[in-house]
Amino acid sequence: MKVIVLGAGVVGVTSAYQLAKAGHEVVVVDRQPGPALETSFGNAGEVSFGYCSPWAAPGIPLKAMKWLFMEHAPLILRPKLDMAMLSWMFKMLANCTTDRYALNKSRMLRLADYSRTSLAAVREETGLAYDERMQGTLQLFRTQDQLDASAKDVKALAADGIPYEVLDPEGCIRVEPALRHVREKIVGGLLTPKDETGDCFKFTNALAEKAAALGVRFQYGTTIKGFDIEGGRVRGIVTDGAPVRGDAVVVALGSFSPLLLKQVGISLPVYPVKGYSLTIPITDASRAPESTVMDETYKIAITRLGDRIRVGGMAEISGYTNDLGLARRRTLEHSVTDLFPGGDVSQALFWSGLRPMTPDGTPVIGPTKVQGLFLNTGHGTLGWTMSCGSARVISDIVSGRKAEIDATDLAISRYA
């Protein structure tokens, strides 16, 4: 078939690569001049197969109220008269129960673990280099309450057979030696040793080149206006230039997916949640992290990417705005300098991007009510982590094959 992939972020490019490997003729359409120039550009850099949890969790509503009064809050809410925002928030609150959290986390772990083996396969067959490291994620707890609350995550990891290790402060320092300078600030940690790190922008650009070598055509600088539907089946897309015809369309437009799908009567509960990052040059390697340290207090990931540190996190619910708030920069600076003092944050590149979040935290992958129209979107903070596994799933579904993992509960029908 001729398959049109909408979006050239990490999810779109990995999808195109897998579809081309499956023998399809593939064209990728994106408004940007190249791949990975929006949400995939400056994300936290963590590929967290074990450290993946829904934002919707027991206790979050109460925590959110407290965060409203914190100087360095991990969640920022800027309410507005936006029915999409209000609807999404109500649905998210409905998922903040123990049962829903366990269900949603199990879905995420299933897809993330599949993505781990899928990424390894891509690495082996392409030889891509993207400042990758395979040294795990250390979730760092500053208080006993945080350490105690991690029991529910430990239970979920154990149930799904995901390796983990609960560490005392000395164990944390063994994994991340630079933390010895702030020993008094650490109560403990949770290590997921199979987690990885890497530069998503580098990976996506390198894989786009491999996909092009397989015959994938990239049509950049093209604004997607809508779908061409005939007799209940998609026949292509309408753009600001010439129409693009095809037998199937995969929507991988991140936060912008629901805006386009609304035109064909598909209600996709995805809403943009803005994240921020700093990219800081390493001036003293002995004071830098070895892999990823997740500062549980501020929900900020501090990741080693070659000769740089990527500091990313926070969740700002403010609609489709991508301005850079200086208060958010101060929070990132505070977290990294508090745990890894000595770095020169004045040289940092400050960035923000819109993460496509679903109310339950799990992506939407699979067919729609329109024949030939498929979804691979809504990965939230885990697009980099889940991209390779999601790509194999959607490639199998588009090709009419059964996916290698159970993906029935990832389809949009779960919201029916």
Burial tier of 247 (Cβ tally within 10 Å: 0-12, 13-18, 19+): middle
* 315 labelled binding-site residue: no
According to DSSP, the residues that pair with 197 across neighbouring strands are 46, 133
Sequence length of the chain is 416
* 385 labelled binding-site residue: no
Q: For residue 102, what are its two tokens?
A: 């366990």
Q: Count CB atoms within 10 A of the CB of residue 155.
A: 12
* 8 labelled binding-site residue: yes
Amino acid at 396: D
Identify the three-state secondary structure at position 399.
coil
* 17 labelled binding-site residue: yes
* 9 labelled binding-site residue: yes
Element (H, E) at 345: none
* 51 labelled binding-site residue: no
Element (H, E) at 196: strand 196-197
* 14 labelled binding-site residue: yes
Residue 167, CA atoms < 13 Å, CB-side half-sphere:
22
* 60 labelled binding-site residue: no
* 15 labelled binding-site residue: yes
**In terms of DSSP bridges, do strands 248-251 and 2-6 run parallel, antiparallel, or are they unpaired?**
parallel
* 10 labelled binding-site residue: yes
Alpha helices in 284-382 (DSSP H): 326-339
Whole-angstrom distance, CA of residue 136 vs CA of residue 291:
6
* 114 labelled binding-site residue: no
67 sits in the region (left: phi over 0; alpha: psi -120 to 50; else beta) called alpha
* 234 labelled binding-site residue: no
The 10 Å CB-count burial string (b at 16+, else e) for 330-358 is: ebbbbbbeebbeebebeebebbbbbbbbb
* 5 labelled binding-site residue: yes
Amino acid at 213: A
- In degrees, rounded to 5, the angle at the alpha carbon of residue 207 between the alpha carbons of residues 52 and 410 is 40
* 6 labelled binding-site residue: yes
* 286 labelled binding-site residue: no
Annotated binding site: 3-17
Annotated binding site for FAD: 3-17
